[in-house]
Amino acid sequence: MKIFIGHLHPLLVHLPIGIWIIYLLIEFLKTRNQYKQIDFIIKIVFYTGAISAVASIITGLINANQQGYPTNDVFNHQWMAIGTSVLFLIFFYIRNHFTLRTVLVNSFLILLFMLISITGHLGGILTHGEDYFSIQNDEKKVIKPLAIQHINEALIYKDLVQYIFDKNCLSCHGQNKQKGNLRLDTYDHIMSGGKSGKVIQLSNLEKSELIKRILLDQSDEKHMPPKDNMQLETFEIQMLKWWVSNGAETSSKVKDISADTLMIRSIKQFHDAFSQINDVASIKRPMLDEIEANTLKKIQSLGWSLIPLSKDDHYYRAVAFNVEDSIGNALKTLSEISKNIIELKLSFSNLNDKDAIQLSAFRSLEKLWLDHTLITSKGLENLKQINNLNYLNLFACSINERDLSNYSDRRDLKLVYPNMKDTAWKIADTTELTAIKKQLP
Protein backbone atom coordinates (compact mmCIF):
# COMPACT_ATOMS: atom_id res chain seq x y z
CA MET A 1 0.00 0.00 0.00
CA LYS A 2 2.87 2.36 0.83
CA ILE A 3 4.41 1.78 -2.59
CA PHE A 4 1.09 2.60 -4.27
CA ILE A 5 0.76 5.85 -2.30
CA GLY A 6 4.31 6.83 -3.30
CA HIS A 7 3.54 6.22 -6.96
CA LEU A 8 0.72 8.81 -6.74
CA HIS A 9 3.28 11.62 -6.46
CA PRO A 10 3.84 12.09 -10.23
CA LEU A 11 0.05 12.38 -10.60
CA LEU A 12 -0.42 14.88 -7.76
CA VAL A 13 2.75 16.98 -8.04
CA HIS A 14 1.48 19.14 -10.91
CA LEU A 15 -1.84 20.03 -9.28
CA PRO A 16 -0.61 22.55 -6.68
CA ILE A 17 1.73 24.13 -9.23
CA GLY A 18 -1.09 24.81 -11.67
CA ILE A 19 -3.64 25.80 -9.03
CA TRP A 20 -1.32 28.17 -7.20
CA ILE A 21 -0.24 29.86 -10.43
CA ILE A 22 -3.94 30.52 -11.06
CA TYR A 23 -4.21 31.83 -7.47
CA LEU A 24 -1.28 34.22 -8.06
CA LEU A 25 -2.93 35.47 -11.26
CA ILE A 26 -6.21 36.11 -9.45
CA GLU A 27 -4.40 37.97 -6.65
CA PHE A 28 -2.63 40.09 -9.26
CA LEU A 29 -5.91 40.95 -11.01
CA LYS A 30 -7.50 41.74 -7.66
CA THR A 31 -5.13 44.72 -7.26
CA ARG A 32 -6.99 46.38 -10.13
CA ASN A 33 -10.36 47.94 -9.33
CA GLN A 34 -12.16 46.49 -12.36
CA TYR A 35 -11.53 42.95 -11.05
CA LYS A 36 -12.63 43.40 -7.45
CA GLN A 37 -15.64 41.13 -8.06
CA ILE A 38 -13.42 38.03 -8.45
CA ASP A 39 -12.52 38.15 -4.77
CA PHE A 40 -15.12 35.49 -3.86
CA ILE A 41 -13.30 32.67 -5.72
CA ILE A 42 -9.85 33.31 -4.23
CA LYS A 43 -10.45 31.21 -1.12
CA ILE A 44 -11.75 28.26 -3.13
CA VAL A 45 -8.70 28.30 -5.37
CA PHE A 46 -6.27 28.73 -2.46
CA TYR A 47 -7.67 25.93 -0.29
CA THR A 48 -7.74 23.58 -3.28
CA GLY A 49 -4.07 24.39 -3.93
CA ALA A 50 -3.16 23.94 -0.26
CA ILE A 51 -4.82 20.51 -0.01
CA SER A 52 -3.18 19.31 -3.21
CA ALA A 53 0.18 20.65 -1.98
CA VAL A 54 -0.04 18.67 1.27
CA ALA A 55 -0.98 15.51 -0.64
CA SER A 56 1.88 16.08 -3.08
CA ILE A 57 4.44 16.58 -0.30
CA ILE A 58 3.35 13.45 1.60
CA THR A 59 3.41 11.19 -1.46
CA GLY A 60 6.69 12.78 -2.57
CA LEU A 61 8.41 11.95 0.72
CA ILE A 62 7.22 8.34 0.49
CA ASN A 63 8.24 8.05 -3.17
CA ALA A 64 11.74 9.47 -2.52
CA ASN A 65 12.43 6.85 0.15
CA GLN A 66 11.37 4.05 -2.20
CA GLN A 67 13.22 5.19 -5.34
CA GLY A 68 16.62 5.89 -3.82
CA TYR A 69 17.20 9.29 -5.44
CA PRO A 70 20.41 11.22 -4.55
CA THR A 71 20.10 12.46 -0.96
CA ASN A 72 21.14 16.06 -1.65
CA ASP A 73 18.70 16.44 -4.54
CA VAL A 74 15.84 15.03 -2.44
CA PHE A 75 16.71 17.35 0.43
CA ASN A 76 16.76 20.47 -1.78
CA HIS A 77 13.51 19.62 -3.56
CA GLN A 78 11.48 18.58 -0.53
CA TRP A 79 12.41 21.55 1.66
CA MET A 80 11.92 24.03 -1.15
CA ALA A 81 8.44 22.56 -1.67
CA ILE A 82 7.63 22.71 2.03
CA GLY A 83 9.04 26.23 2.39
CA THR A 84 7.12 27.49 -0.64
CA SER A 85 3.87 26.03 0.73
CA VAL A 86 4.43 27.69 4.11
CA LEU A 87 5.07 31.07 2.45
CA PHE A 88 1.82 30.71 0.48
CA LEU A 89 -0.02 30.18 3.79
CA ILE A 90 1.67 33.21 5.35
CA PHE A 91 0.85 35.40 2.35
CA PHE A 92 -2.77 34.23 2.33
CA TYR A 93 -3.15 35.04 6.04
CA ILE A 94 -1.56 38.50 5.74
CA ARG A 95 -3.57 39.29 2.59
CA ASN A 96 -6.84 38.56 4.39
CA HIS A 97 -6.06 40.32 7.69
CA PHE A 98 -4.06 43.38 6.67
CA THR A 99 -4.23 46.04 4.00
CA LEU A 100 -1.10 45.96 1.87
CA ARG A 101 0.15 48.40 -0.71
CA THR A 102 -0.11 47.21 -4.31
CA VAL A 103 3.65 47.29 -4.86
CA LEU A 104 4.18 45.06 -1.83
CA VAL A 105 1.53 42.59 -2.98
CA ASN A 106 3.03 42.41 -6.46
CA SER A 107 6.51 41.86 -5.04
CA PHE A 108 5.21 38.99 -2.92
CA LEU A 109 3.45 37.47 -5.94
CA ILE A 110 6.66 37.58 -7.97
CA LEU A 111 8.59 35.95 -5.12
CA LEU A 112 6.05 33.14 -4.81
CA PHE A 113 6.08 32.55 -8.57
CA MET A 114 9.89 32.31 -8.50
CA LEU A 115 9.77 29.84 -5.61
CA ILE A 116 7.29 27.63 -7.50
CA SER A 117 9.59 27.68 -10.53
CA ILE A 118 12.66 26.80 -8.46
CA THR A 119 10.81 23.96 -6.75
CA GLY A 120 9.76 22.55 -10.13
CA HIS A 121 13.31 22.91 -11.45
CA LEU A 122 14.72 20.99 -8.48
CA GLY A 123 12.15 18.27 -9.15
CA GLY A 124 13.37 18.09 -12.74
CA ILE A 125 16.96 17.68 -11.55
CA LEU A 126 15.84 14.94 -9.20
CA THR A 127 14.13 12.86 -11.89
CA HIS A 128 16.10 13.74 -15.03
CA GLY A 129 19.58 14.78 -13.88
CA GLU A 130 21.38 18.10 -13.52
CA ASP A 131 21.64 18.78 -17.26
CA TYR A 132 17.99 18.09 -18.15
CA PHE A 133 17.25 21.77 -18.78
CA SER A 134 19.84 22.37 -21.49
CA ILE A 135 19.96 22.86 -25.24
CA GLN A 136 22.27 19.86 -25.44
CA ASN A 137 19.42 17.56 -24.46
CA ASP A 138 17.42 18.72 -27.49
CA GLU A 139 19.91 16.84 -29.67
CA LYS A 140 19.09 13.29 -30.64
CA LYS A 141 21.01 10.73 -28.61
CA VAL A 142 23.73 9.16 -30.71
CA ILE A 143 25.31 5.84 -29.83
CA LYS A 144 29.06 6.25 -29.65
CA PRO A 145 30.71 3.71 -31.95
CA LEU A 146 32.62 0.83 -30.38
CA ALA A 147 36.30 1.75 -30.72
CA ILE A 148 37.55 -1.80 -31.31
CA GLN A 149 39.00 -3.21 -34.50
CA HIS A 150 39.96 -6.74 -33.40
CA ILE A 151 37.22 -8.09 -31.16
CA ASN A 152 39.32 -10.99 -29.82
CA GLU A 153 41.72 -8.47 -28.23
CA ALA A 154 38.94 -6.56 -26.47
CA LEU A 155 38.75 -6.52 -22.67
CA ILE A 156 35.40 -8.09 -21.81
CA TYR A 157 34.51 -5.67 -19.01
CA LYS A 158 36.12 -2.38 -20.06
CA ASP A 159 35.46 -2.55 -23.80
CA LEU A 160 32.21 -4.53 -23.99
CA VAL A 161 30.27 -4.77 -20.71
CA GLN A 162 30.84 -1.16 -19.62
CA TYR A 163 29.95 -0.06 -23.16
CA ILE A 164 26.54 -1.74 -22.72
CA PHE A 165 25.98 -0.01 -19.38
CA ASP A 166 27.10 3.38 -20.73
CA LYS A 167 24.76 3.07 -23.71
CA ASN A 168 21.66 1.82 -21.90
CA CYS A 169 21.79 2.43 -18.16
CA LEU A 170 23.54 5.62 -17.06
CA SER A 171 20.54 7.92 -17.47
CA CYS A 172 19.11 6.27 -14.34
CA HIS A 173 22.22 4.71 -12.76
CA GLY A 174 25.04 7.13 -13.49
CA GLN A 175 27.01 9.74 -11.60
CA ASN A 176 24.21 12.33 -11.51
CA LYS A 177 21.28 10.04 -10.77
CA GLN A 178 21.08 6.67 -9.04
CA LYS A 179 17.69 5.00 -8.87
CA GLY A 180 17.72 2.44 -6.10
CA ASN A 181 21.12 3.86 -5.03
CA LEU A 182 22.66 1.85 -7.88
CA ARG A 183 25.49 3.18 -10.03
CA LEU A 184 26.68 1.35 -13.13
CA ASP A 185 29.31 3.80 -14.39
CA THR A 186 32.34 2.15 -12.74
CA TYR A 187 33.30 -1.41 -11.82
CA ASP A 188 33.52 -0.68 -8.08
CA HIS A 189 30.04 0.83 -8.02
CA ILE A 190 28.62 -2.09 -10.02
CA MET A 191 30.02 -4.61 -7.57
CA SER A 192 28.87 -2.56 -4.55
CA GLY A 193 25.25 -2.87 -5.65
CA GLY A 194 22.41 -0.63 -4.54
CA LYS A 195 19.64 -0.20 -2.03
CA SER A 196 18.58 -3.86 -2.30
CA GLY A 197 22.12 -5.23 -1.98
CA LYS A 198 24.56 -6.63 -4.52
CA VAL A 199 23.30 -6.93 -8.09
CA ILE A 200 26.12 -9.24 -9.26
CA GLN A 201 26.87 -12.59 -7.65
CA LEU A 202 30.09 -13.90 -9.15
CA SER A 203 29.58 -16.89 -11.45
CA ASN A 204 25.93 -17.18 -10.41
CA LEU A 205 23.32 -15.96 -12.88
CA GLU A 206 20.32 -17.13 -10.85
CA LYS A 207 21.29 -14.98 -7.86
CA SER A 208 22.48 -11.96 -9.83
CA GLU A 209 19.70 -9.38 -9.53
CA LEU A 210 20.97 -7.40 -12.51
CA ILE A 211 20.59 -10.38 -14.85
CA LYS A 212 17.22 -11.32 -13.36
CA ARG A 213 15.84 -7.80 -13.95
CA ILE A 214 17.05 -7.79 -17.56
CA LEU A 215 15.37 -11.14 -18.26
CA LEU A 216 11.99 -10.15 -16.80
CA ASP A 217 9.14 -9.58 -19.23
CA GLN A 218 8.85 -5.95 -20.34
CA SER A 219 5.38 -5.75 -18.80
CA ASP A 220 6.90 -6.32 -15.35
CA GLU A 221 7.53 -3.01 -13.55
CA LYS A 222 10.87 -4.36 -12.30
CA HIS A 223 12.13 -5.11 -15.83
CA MET A 224 15.28 -3.24 -16.79
CA PRO A 225 15.71 -1.11 -18.76
CA PRO A 226 12.15 0.27 -18.29
CA LYS A 227 9.86 -0.63 -21.19
CA ASP A 228 9.80 2.94 -22.52
CA ASN A 229 13.60 3.04 -22.79
CA MET A 230 15.85 1.53 -25.46
CA GLN A 231 16.00 -2.21 -24.79
CA LEU A 232 19.06 -4.43 -24.78
CA GLU A 233 19.70 -6.48 -27.89
CA THR A 234 19.70 -10.27 -27.45
CA PHE A 235 23.44 -10.42 -28.06
CA GLU A 236 24.02 -7.73 -25.41
CA ILE A 237 22.14 -9.84 -22.87
CA GLN A 238 24.24 -12.87 -23.84
CA MET A 239 27.38 -10.76 -23.34
CA LEU A 240 26.36 -9.76 -19.81
CA LYS A 241 25.42 -13.33 -18.88
CA TRP A 242 28.74 -14.58 -20.24
CA TRP A 243 30.65 -11.99 -18.22
CA VAL A 244 28.87 -12.80 -14.94
CA SER A 245 29.13 -16.56 -15.51
CA ASN A 246 32.89 -16.24 -15.87
CA GLY A 247 33.45 -14.35 -12.64
CA ALA A 248 32.63 -10.76 -13.67
CA GLU A 249 36.26 -9.68 -13.47
CA THR A 250 38.11 -6.93 -15.31
CA SER A 251 41.30 -8.34 -16.84
CA SER A 252 40.17 -11.05 -19.28
CA LYS A 253 40.09 -10.53 -23.02
CA VAL A 254 37.57 -12.14 -25.36
CA LYS A 255 40.19 -14.62 -26.57
CA ASP A 256 41.00 -15.70 -22.99
CA ILE A 257 37.59 -17.18 -22.12
CA SER A 258 36.05 -20.21 -23.79
CA ALA A 259 32.80 -19.58 -25.66
CA ASP A 260 30.18 -21.86 -27.14
CA THR A 261 28.60 -21.42 -30.58
CA LEU A 262 25.87 -19.09 -29.31
CA MET A 263 28.39 -16.86 -27.54
CA ILE A 264 30.72 -16.70 -30.54
CA ARG A 265 27.82 -15.59 -32.69
CA SER A 266 26.75 -13.01 -30.08
CA ILE A 267 30.26 -11.57 -29.93
CA LYS A 268 30.35 -11.16 -33.69
CA GLN A 269 26.87 -9.62 -33.72
CA PHE A 270 27.90 -7.20 -30.97
CA HIS A 271 31.00 -6.14 -32.89
CA ASP A 272 29.15 -5.83 -36.19
CA ALA A 273 26.34 -3.77 -34.67
CA PHE A 274 28.36 -1.19 -32.76
CA SER A 275 31.83 -0.97 -34.27
CA GLN A 276 32.58 1.64 -36.89
CA ILE A 277 35.04 1.33 -39.76
CA ASN A 278 37.54 4.18 -39.44
CA ASP A 279 36.92 5.72 -42.86
CA VAL A 280 33.17 6.24 -42.39
CA ALA A 281 33.49 9.74 -41.00
CA SER A 282 35.78 10.89 -43.81
CA ILE A 283 33.38 10.02 -46.65
CA LYS A 284 31.59 13.09 -47.99
CA ARG A 285 27.87 12.51 -48.44
CA PRO A 286 24.94 14.88 -48.92
CA MET A 287 23.09 15.92 -45.78
CA LEU A 288 19.74 14.19 -45.28
CA ASP A 289 16.69 15.27 -43.32
CA GLU A 290 16.11 13.64 -39.95
CA ILE A 291 13.90 10.56 -40.10
CA GLU A 292 10.50 11.03 -38.47
CA ALA A 293 10.22 9.48 -35.01
CA ASN A 294 7.14 7.41 -35.95
CA THR A 295 8.95 5.92 -38.93
CA LEU A 296 11.95 4.97 -36.82
CA LYS A 297 9.69 3.43 -34.20
CA LYS A 298 7.80 1.37 -36.80
CA ILE A 299 11.05 0.01 -38.29
CA GLN A 300 12.60 -0.77 -34.92
CA SER A 301 9.42 -2.57 -33.81
CA LEU A 302 10.16 -5.20 -36.49
CA GLY A 303 13.48 -5.99 -34.82
CA TRP A 304 15.80 -3.79 -36.88
CA SER A 305 18.71 -2.23 -35.01
CA LEU A 306 19.45 1.22 -36.43
CA ILE A 307 22.86 2.61 -35.47
CA PRO A 308 23.71 6.20 -36.47
CA LEU A 309 27.06 6.37 -38.27
CA SER A 310 27.57 10.07 -37.67
CA LYS A 311 26.07 12.82 -35.58
CA ASP A 312 24.43 15.16 -38.03
CA ASP A 313 23.86 13.73 -41.52
CA HIS A 314 21.36 10.97 -40.56
CA TYR A 315 23.04 7.95 -42.19
CA TYR A 316 22.52 4.58 -40.52
CA ARG A 317 23.72 1.02 -40.28
CA ALA A 318 20.75 -1.39 -40.22
CA VAL A 319 21.21 -4.78 -38.55
CA ALA A 320 18.69 -7.61 -38.93
CA PHE A 321 19.82 -9.94 -36.15
CA ASN A 322 16.54 -9.57 -34.21
CA VAL A 323 14.10 -9.46 -37.13
CA GLU A 324 11.50 -12.18 -36.57
CA ASP A 325 9.17 -11.47 -39.50
CA SER A 326 9.94 -12.47 -43.09
CA ILE A 327 13.18 -10.75 -44.00
CA GLY A 328 11.57 -9.72 -47.30
CA ASN A 329 8.73 -7.91 -45.52
CA ALA A 330 11.18 -6.37 -43.08
CA LEU A 331 13.35 -5.09 -45.95
CA LYS A 332 10.28 -3.63 -47.67
CA THR A 333 9.48 -1.61 -44.55
CA LEU A 334 13.11 -0.59 -44.12
CA SER A 335 13.18 0.64 -47.73
CA GLU A 336 11.06 3.61 -46.61
CA ILE A 337 14.35 5.08 -45.40
CA SER A 338 16.56 3.38 -48.00
CA LYS A 339 18.45 6.56 -48.83
CA ASN A 340 19.56 6.76 -45.17
CA ILE A 341 20.93 3.20 -45.07
CA ILE A 342 24.55 2.95 -46.15
CA GLU A 343 25.42 -0.23 -44.23
CA LEU A 344 23.12 -3.26 -44.13
CA LYS A 345 23.84 -6.39 -42.11
CA LEU A 346 21.72 -9.42 -42.99
CA SER A 347 24.17 -12.00 -41.61
CA PHE A 348 22.63 -15.28 -40.37
CA SER A 349 19.17 -14.27 -41.57
CA ASN A 350 16.86 -16.42 -43.72
CA LEU A 351 17.30 -14.12 -46.72
CA ASN A 352 16.66 -15.95 -50.02
CA ASP A 353 16.60 -14.92 -53.68
CA LYS A 354 12.95 -13.86 -53.51
CA ASP A 355 13.64 -11.60 -50.52
CA ALA A 356 16.74 -10.21 -52.25
CA ILE A 357 14.49 -8.40 -54.75
CA GLN A 358 14.02 -5.78 -52.04
CA LEU A 359 17.76 -5.02 -52.02
CA SER A 360 17.52 -3.14 -55.31
CA ALA A 361 15.78 -0.30 -53.46
CA PHE A 362 18.87 0.41 -51.35
CA ARG A 363 20.84 2.45 -53.91
CA SER A 364 22.88 4.25 -51.22
CA LEU A 365 24.47 1.10 -49.81
CA GLU A 366 28.22 1.12 -49.33
CA LYS A 367 28.61 -2.02 -47.25
CA LEU A 368 26.46 -5.15 -47.34
CA TRP A 369 26.70 -8.33 -45.24
CA LEU A 370 24.99 -11.39 -46.77
CA ASP A 371 27.09 -14.05 -45.06
CA HIS A 372 25.32 -17.19 -43.81
CA THR A 373 22.16 -16.48 -45.85
CA LEU A 374 20.35 -18.48 -48.55
CA ILE A 375 21.13 -16.10 -51.38
CA THR A 376 22.46 -17.47 -54.69
CA SER A 377 23.77 -15.91 -57.88
CA LYS A 378 20.18 -15.18 -58.94
CA GLY A 379 19.69 -12.99 -55.89
CA LEU A 380 22.94 -11.15 -56.55
CA GLU A 381 21.43 -9.74 -59.74
CA ASN A 382 19.57 -7.25 -57.56
CA LEU A 383 22.85 -5.58 -56.56
CA LYS A 384 23.82 -4.41 -60.05
CA GLN A 385 22.37 -0.93 -59.61
CA ILE A 386 24.04 -0.29 -56.25
CA ASN A 387 26.95 1.72 -57.60
CA ASN A 388 28.44 2.86 -54.28
CA LEU A 389 28.92 -0.64 -52.89
CA ASN A 390 32.52 -1.06 -51.72
CA TYR A 391 32.22 -4.02 -49.34
CA LEU A 392 30.27 -7.26 -49.87
CA ASN A 393 30.40 -10.22 -47.51
CA LEU A 394 29.28 -13.52 -49.09
CA PHE A 395 30.87 -15.94 -46.67
CA ALA A 396 29.04 -19.28 -46.29
CA CYS A 397 26.61 -18.64 -49.17
CA SER A 398 25.74 -20.90 -52.12
CA ILE A 399 27.84 -18.90 -54.55
CA ASN A 400 30.75 -20.08 -56.67
CA GLU A 401 33.53 -18.35 -58.54
CA ARG A 402 31.53 -17.96 -61.76
CA ASP A 403 28.80 -16.12 -59.88
CA LEU A 404 31.25 -13.35 -59.05
CA SER A 405 32.32 -12.63 -62.64
CA ASN A 406 30.07 -9.57 -62.74
CA TYR A 407 32.18 -8.04 -59.98
CA SER A 408 35.61 -8.76 -61.45
CA ASP A 409 35.94 -5.23 -62.84
CA ARG A 410 34.89 -3.58 -59.57
CA ARG A 411 38.34 -2.63 -58.29
CA ASP A 412 36.79 -0.62 -55.45
CA LEU A 413 34.74 -3.55 -54.17
CA LYS A 414 36.16 -5.65 -51.32
CA LEU A 415 34.70 -9.16 -51.34
CA VAL A 416 34.69 -11.58 -48.44
CA TYR A 417 34.42 -15.07 -49.88
CA PRO A 418 35.75 -18.50 -48.76
CA ASN A 419 38.24 -18.94 -51.60
CA MET A 420 41.29 -16.85 -50.76
CA LYS A 421 42.40 -16.50 -54.38
CA ASP A 422 39.10 -14.95 -55.38
CA THR A 423 38.87 -12.26 -52.74
CA ALA A 424 40.40 -9.19 -51.21
CA TRP A 425 40.28 -10.21 -47.55
CA LYS A 426 40.47 -7.87 -44.62
CA ILE A 427 42.51 -9.07 -41.65
CA ALA A 428 39.70 -8.56 -39.13
CA ASP A 429 37.23 -10.49 -41.30
CA THR A 430 39.68 -13.37 -41.66
CA THR A 431 40.14 -13.69 -37.89
CA GLU A 432 36.46 -13.51 -36.98
CA LEU A 433 35.03 -15.61 -39.79
CA THR A 434 37.62 -18.37 -39.46
CA ALA A 435 36.78 -18.72 -35.76
CA ILE A 436 33.07 -18.85 -36.49
CA LYS A 437 33.50 -21.38 -39.30
CA LYS A 438 35.34 -23.76 -36.96
CA GLN A 439 32.76 -23.65 -34.17
CA LEU A 440 29.40 -23.23 -35.90
CA PRO A 441 27.52 -26.48 -36.66
pLDDT at 439: 42
Residues whose CB falls within 8 Å of the CB of residue 252, separated by 6 or more in sequence, listed in order: 155, 156, 157, 246
30: left (phi over 0), alpha (psi -120 to 50) or beta: alpha
Decide if pLDDT at 141 tops 70. no
pLDDT digits (tens, 9 = 90+) for 79-88: 899 999 999 9
Per the model's pLDDT, the better-predicted residue between 406 and 117 turns out to be 117
Decide if pLDDT at 14 tops 80. yes
In percent, the amount of the chain with pLDDT more than 70 equals 80
Pairwise CA distance, residues 227 & 233, whole Å: 13
Which residues, listed in sequence order, are joined to residue 369 by a DSSP beta bridge?
345, 393
CB 345 within 8 A of CB 373: no
Pairing type for strands 414-416 and 341-345 reads unpaired
- Coil, helix or strand for 192? helix
Angle at 134 between CA 131 and CA 138, to 5 degrees: 115
As a whole number, the mean pLDDT across the chain is 81
Per the model's pLDDT, the better-predicted residue between 58 and 438 turns out to be 58
- Mean pLDDT on 206-233: 84
pLDDT digits (tens, 9 = 90+) for 426-438: 333 444 444 444 4
Pairing type for strands 414-416 and 316-319 reads unpaired
Across the beta sheet with 341-345, the strand order is 305-308, 316-319, 341-345, 367-369, 391-393, 414-416
pLDDT at 208: 93
Decide if pLDDT at 345 tops 90. yes
Confidence class for position 324, pLDDT limits 50, 70, 90: confident
Which residues, listed in sequence order, are joined to residue 345 by a DSSP beta bridge?
319, 369
Decide if pLDDT at 186 tops 90. yes
pLDDT at 277: 45
DSSP designation for 318 = E
Residues whose CB falls within 8 Å of the CB of residue 8, separated by 6 or more in sequence, listed in order: 55, 59
Pairwise CA distance, residues 88 & 79, whole Å: 14
- Mean pLDDT on 219-231: 79
pLDDT digits (tens, 9 = 90+) for 260-274: 777 887 888 888 778
- Coil, helix or strand for 414? strand
- Mean pLDDT on 191-216: 90
Confidence class for position 423, pLDDT limits 50, 70, 90: very low
Decide if pLDDT at 90 tops 60. yes
pLDDT at 322: 86
Task: Give CB contacts under 8 A, 24+ apart, made by 32-41.
Answer: none
pLDDT at 287: 86
Q: Which parts of 351-409 fold into alpha helices (H)?
A: 377-380
Pairwise CA distance, residues 164 & 233, whole Å: 10
Of 17, 13, 16, the residue nearest 60 (C-alpha): 13
Per the model's pLDDT, the better-predicted residue between 171 and 412 turns out to be 171
Decide if pLDDT at 440 tops 50. no
pLDDT at 299: 93
Decide if pLDDT at 420 tops 60. no
